[in-house]
Copies of this chain bind each other. A is one copy, B any other.
Amino acid sequence: MASVHVEGPSEKALLRAITRFADVLDDSAVVTEDAVAEGHDPYAFDGGRDHQPSAILYPSTVEQVQQVVKIADAEGIPLWVVSRGKNLGYGGMAPRVSGSVVVNLSRMNRILEVNDTMCYALVEPGVTFFDLYNYVRENDLKVWTSVPGLGWGSVVGNTLERGFGYTAYGDHQMQQCGLEVVLADGEIIRTGMGANANSAAWQLYKPGFGPSLDGLFQQSNLGIVTKMGLWMMPRPERFVSVEAKIESEDTLSQLVETLRPLMVDGTISGLATIRSALHLIAKLTTRKQLWSGAGGVPDDVVQSARSKYGVGGWNLSFGLYGAACVVQARLDVACRALEKLPGIELSFQDYDGADVSEETVAPKDLHRAGIPNMLPLRAMDWAGKNGGTLAFAPVSPTTGADAKAQYDMIRRYVREYGFDYYGSFNVSTRHMNHVLQIFFDRDSPRDLEALAAMMPRMMDEAADKGYSEYRAHLSFMDDVSDGFTFNKNALRGVIERLKDVLDPKGIISPGKQGIWPSLMVSRAKKGTEEL
């Protein structure tokens, strides 16, 4: 595997384009001098020199986005489009190709509608989870938001990148219904029922008539999403937050085997999360207080911290939402199954759905109550004052054997390279996202070297075993994409053919998720000819 290297635009073309961008945007909407400082990869472990923007644009309207793409197309300038650029662990707003002009959509932040009769929102890409939650509260609407770890990010960005939250509506991309998209030639389309301009069902019925295009614009460089419909959970009568400590790490397989039928039959809907000991310990102490030696925190140190803070070897959590008696029945079924596990200790917190707010909900339950917050950011100091983070997030079947195989494999790597196992399994119905959050010290050459050595090996082994990642940091997009080898990466070849027809000059986010215009790399066409 080798990452594609592409030259950015020439300085001359760039200067000409920036003059033209400035003609159509507000003064404050074109950042050039401070672009590198403002738009660098915040946790770059490789210096980030391959991912530096030449300028940042902040359009405020769909029309401005259309003008920007038309100028970029005319001048051949690669853009890198972010909603708010807050996805720090995956590169923030830094572009895949150095010299790209970042298009940051944070000023397009209108909440166009929140409908609590039909339970949906229609939002622009600049709207944050905080914005949406506050809007719902201020207007006393009977719907709940579903929020990811950090509330400052874009609802649209998170959804399109397949981020997730912790309520029954936690699989955000599954809740997406209807898009407005600006294509590379400035054309605007609306997907699904939105293609009938008179339709009242744009946010209500996903497919429309004929092929459905919404999936094309997920993790995508085929267009710029300017409006998105999102289904919202009706405010539940009752919300029970369930937590369980599991004593032994060896119980992981059994736990996953017990959870799967509960997830598949909807006893638990949304996500159940299984977190490692350090995931919880990191919220209660600092790493320095635990361990000042070299390498990862040793097992016996983790064990004594577990005893001290009352943390399980694995820590399960999920929420139940709905009518009070239905929640009770589902709780009974879930408990009957979980109680059979050895060394499990269950606990509950019961809420009246109408009473749930940041004032009434325990901090540990905020995410499961759909209340945006910034608590997980505290973990950023785990590895040092100048801490950085990188995720490794392979997908696997929801089986005990797969959980154990992934855990064993990843433990082996983090031990070998001296990192902590700070992992969680986000268990859906038939698949799990296993997220290893790697914390490193950006001032430590050892950490940076170890990361650079570990990541490709770990990714290769995982992909060979069938555990592909569902998303990737800028530096690894090509590698993850390379792992999808069926019929000589034929799927990528097809997407690149679509890229070439919709965006022949390759101006929208070239290289995103390993999809390149053929003007920049010749791989796509070659791949097809070889067959």
Contact = CB atoms under 8 A, between A and B. Distances in A.
A531 B398 CA distance: 48
A193 interface: yes
Contacts of A515: 210-211
B197 A486 contact: yes
Contacts of A494: 183, 187, 189, 213, 502
Interface in A372-410: 395-399, 402
A213 B501 CA distance: 16
B216 A470 contact: no
Nearest to A205: B431
B220 A210 contact: yes
A210 B430 contact: no
Given A396-B201, A491-B189, A494-B189, A485 B196 contact: yes
A307 to B, nearest CB: 36
Nearest to A428: B205
A395 B207 CA distance: 11
A200 B402 contact: yes
Contacts of A469: 209
A212 B216 contact: yes
A522 to B, nearest CB: 17
Copies of this protein in the complex: 2
A216 B216 contact: yes
Nearest to A215: B212
A231 interface: yes
Interface in A467-505: 467-472, 480-481, 483-487, 489-495, 497-498, 500-502
Nearest to A192: B491
A463 interface: yes
A199 interface: yes
Contacts of A468: 193, 196, 199, 201, 208-209
Given A190-B490, A200-B397, A212-B216, 10 more contacts: A187-B493, A187-B531, A196-B466, A196-B468, A204-B398, A209-B513, A210-B219, A213-B215, A266-B269, A326-B326
13 contacts: A117-B260, A187-B490, A190-B486, A197-B485, A201-B395, A204-B397, A209-B471, A209-B513, A209-B514, A210-B495, A213-B215, A267-B326, A501-B501
List of 5 A-B pairs having minimum Cβ-Cβ separation, nearest first? A212-B215, A210-B513, A195-B484, A205-B431, A198-B466
